[in-house]
Amino acid sequence: MLRIQNLKSYYGRLQALRGISLHVGKGEIVTLIGANGAGKSTILNTVAGLVSQSEGKILLDGKDIRGLPAEKIVKRGVALVPEGRQLFAPMTVADNLALGAYLRHRNGSKAELEQDAEMVFGLFPVLKERRKQLAGTLSGGEQQMLAIGRALMSRPCLLLLDEPSMGLAPKMADEIFRTIVRLKQQGVTILLVEQNARMALEVAEQGYVIETGQVVVQGPSADLLRNHDVERAYLGKGYEKVWE
């Protein structure tokens, strides 16, 4: 479904991605792991059309979407849940969701909108209880649910999730990971960026380890869980050289 080849992204003169190739099969969860500043968010943001300078190919179902404006990419069925959620705090839960739908079709009918909101409430019942509450008053976990819910309002086929468990208590993080699995079961394809490498690899089929804008390891999640580079860097195991 998504196939990226030799993607390079720049922020002014800083090159954040140095030729990334990766793919996500239909209905799969694929995870990107790596240290802070490795370029994971840049990959998601470039796919979502939020990085203005880039080279390479981003093929969505065979068509290159690199360089298209963000709203066109949303229309093609790609939705980003950005790092740090980026909700509209002074707006209600319901309005935040409506905004997500608006991004897809400015003139969607009210009935459609309600239908989609019900789908989100089915996934996150707590949001239904709090639909009239201001987004800024929600707990961290609830905010993350809202951020995912807002993205789902555009009925994406590819969901880009940037560190959804960041800053959440372990129980809440578990809940978010369960949601990710449920979304996959509903047929959503997911590209997931996570600091919590172990949990991400447990839900994903494939993974990529990113270091300084390059892929250094690629493979099935089971392999990555046993890869020593991964263990060392992201699963918190100690390491020192033993020869020499």
Partner 1 sequence: MTGIDSGYCAANREEVEQIQLERLQAVLHRVYRNVEYYRESFRGRAVFPDDVVSLDMIRRLPTTGRATLVANHPYGMFAVPLREVIRLQSTSPVASEAIVVGFTRNDIDHWTELAARSLLSAGVSRDDLVHICIDYGLFPGALGLHYGAEKIGASVIPGSNMAPDAEFEMMRNYHTTVLVTTPQRAVRLANYIRSHHIHAKALMLRACLLVGQYWSESVRSKIEESMDCPVYDCYGHSEVVASGIAAECKKRNGLHINEDHFFAEIVDLTTGDTLAPGQKGELVITTLTKEAFPLIRYRTGDITRLDYQTCECGCCFARMDRVSKRTDDMVFIGGVNIFPSQVERIICDVIGARAPAPIFQLIVEGNEASESVEVAIEVSEAIFSDKLRVLREIEEKIRGELFDMLGVAAKVRLVEPGNLRMEPAGRGRVVDRREVNGG
Ligand X SMILES: Nc1ncnc2c1ncn2[C@@H]1O[C@H](COP(=O)(O)OP(=O)(O)O)[C@@H](O)[C@H]1O
Q: Which residues, numbered 19-38, are part of the site for ligand X (CB under 6 A)? A: 34, 36-38
Q: Under the criterion CB under 6 A, does residue 16 sit at the interface with ligand X?
A: yes
Q: Which residues, numbered 88-127, are part of the site for partner 1 (CB under 8 A)? A: none
Alpha-carbon distance of 117 to 204, in angstroms, equals: 27
Alpha-carbon distance of 184 to 165, in angstroms, equals: 17
Q: Under the criterion CB under 8 A, does residue 242 sit at the interface with partner 1?
A: yes
- Please identify, using beta-carbon distances, which residue of 45 and 179 lies nearer to Mg ion: 45
Per-residue x/- mask for ligand X, residues 40 to 69, rule CB under 6 A? xxx---------------------------
Q: Under the criterion CB under 6 A, does residue 239 sit at the interface with ligand X?
A: no
At 52, which amino acid appears?
S
139, interface contact from ligand X, Mg ion, partner 1, none, CB < 5-8 Å by kind: none
19, interface contact from ligand X, Mg ion, partner 1, none, CB < 5-8 Å by kind: partner 1
- Please identify, using beta-carbon distances, which residue of 38 and 201 lies nearer to ligand X: 38
Q: Under the criterion CB under 8 A, does residue 218 sit at the interface with partner 1?
A: yes
Region at 19 (left for phi over 0; alpha for psi -120 to 50; beta for the rest) = left
Alpha-carbon distance of 6 to 140, in angstroms, equals: 36
b (16+ CB within 10 A) / e for 55-69? ebebebeeeebbebe
Q: Are 96 and 144 in contact (CB under 8 A)?
A: no
Per-residue x/- mask for partner 1, residues 5 to 24, rule CB under 8 A? xx-----------xx-xxx-
Secondary structure percentages of the chain, helix, strand, coil, to 5: 40, 25, 35
Q: Under the criterion CB under 5 A, does residue 144 sit at the interface with Mg ion?
A: no
**Which positions touch ligand X (CB under 6 A)?**
11, 14, 16, 34, 36-42
